[in-house]
Amino acid sequence: MKKEMKIAELLDSYFPCIDGPINVVTYYSEQLDKLAECKLIVPKAKKRQKYVDQRPFEVIRCDSTAAPEGYRLGHPASDRKLKRRVKQEQFDIFHTHSPFSMGSFAIKMGKKYHVPVVATLHTKYYEDFSRVLHGFKPLCNFMLRRIMRVYNAADSVWTVNNASCQILRDYGYKGEIVVMRNGTDLKYPENAEGLISRVNALHGLEGQKNVLIFVGRIAMYKNLALMANALRILKEKNLDFKMLIVGNGFDEGKFKAMIEKLDLSDRVIFVGSVRDRELLQGYYLRSDLFLFPSTFDTSSLVPIEAAAHRLPTLLIRGSCTAENITDGENGFLADETAEAYAEKILNIVSDPERLSAVGEEAHRSVYRTWETVAQEVLAKYEEVIAEYRKKHNA
């Protein structure tokens, strides 16, 4: 039986754009809507894209304009239709997953209708600002002050791991922080061998040893240059390997040019975006090691997806995403240099039995389902609502 709770999840961008927070908020909404009543409020897609939302939960779109890197900027505060809809819905809680226009709107609606607002930090925003604004500190600091208004005004502030708590502290947040870890929708499939055969046939991988994989947005800030140079070292050391790059992004052309310049075109396969989740499972299953060199991500979903398929990940030591990884037990860690990363890969693939054992432990300790996350989230929402009502005598 569903709980009598009406939940509004909000995000500053949504499909057809693709990134980690977009996936997170989709799974939040999908699973929460099975437990209560959940609706997602996001900006409209570009008109000419003619994108149609086909989700098991309701997606409410608001007016928007173009933003950098293919994103959209929502204008909820000036969207009268949206404001009428929010009044009509009588939500019990607002949960914003980004601190821009949608986050400010959530704070405003929470105050207006006397309901609590949760705000989650998913991203290293200052690094984003610095990259987009070419390191112009006065404007970066101005933007940081703007987004911190949302977190400081929220009734409950969440993030995805303990390392991300420090990011909030560095940004000046002094309140209590709730850690709510991410999950995945993927489970180890019954038809694993069939999916592996499908990927082998697509890319001629039958009998290929040392299949490495990266899944995610092709953006150079994810340390892709380090990964490419590590692959160059592996080739120079005569390791027989293939590298699968699953995904696309605004730096795809730049990254492909780098791969060609490093003479890696015969070793690297650009798969493109894979929307078929079952086929994506085939790529994880066919691979021997997942490479995730990013130090930008706070808690990427893809290592959790990999762990669902008993595939361990090689991460950068000290990165946020590596927080729950113990080197050689449930994953692998390397220092942030191409030489150290390549040396670690050579060490890992030289011991297949150990690699398999680490994959099994990753499945046990890294893997986590969105169903589990949603149950924890709903229980926390109930606490937040109760605390809010007690505080405000509502």
Q: How would residue 67 be classed by pLDDT, with cut points 50, 70 and 90?
A: confident
DSSP code of 262?
A: T
Structure confidence by residue, pLDDT tens digits, 118-162: 999 999 999 989 988 888 999 999 999 999 999 999 999 999 999
Q: Specify the pairing of strand 64-66 against strand 211-215.
A: unpaired
Average pLDDT value over all residues in the chain: 95
Q: Cβ-count burial of 148 within 10 angstroms (0-12 exposed, 13-18 middle, 19+ buried)?
A: middle
Q: What angle do CA 321, 323, 327 make, to 5 degrees?
A: 105
H or E element, residue 338: helix 338-349
pTM of the predicted structure, to 2 decimals = 0.87
User: CA 249 to CA 71: how far, in whole Å?
Assistant: 12
User: CA 235 to CA 225: how far, in whole Å?
Assistant: 15
Average pLDDT over residues 19-46: 95
Asked if residues 91 and 117 have their Cβ atoms less than 8 Å apart, the reply is no
User: CA 82 to CA 14: how far, in whole Å?
Assistant: 16
Structure confidence by residue, pLDDT tens digits, 76-132: 999 999 999 999 999 999 999 999 999 999 999 999 999 999 999 999 999 989 988
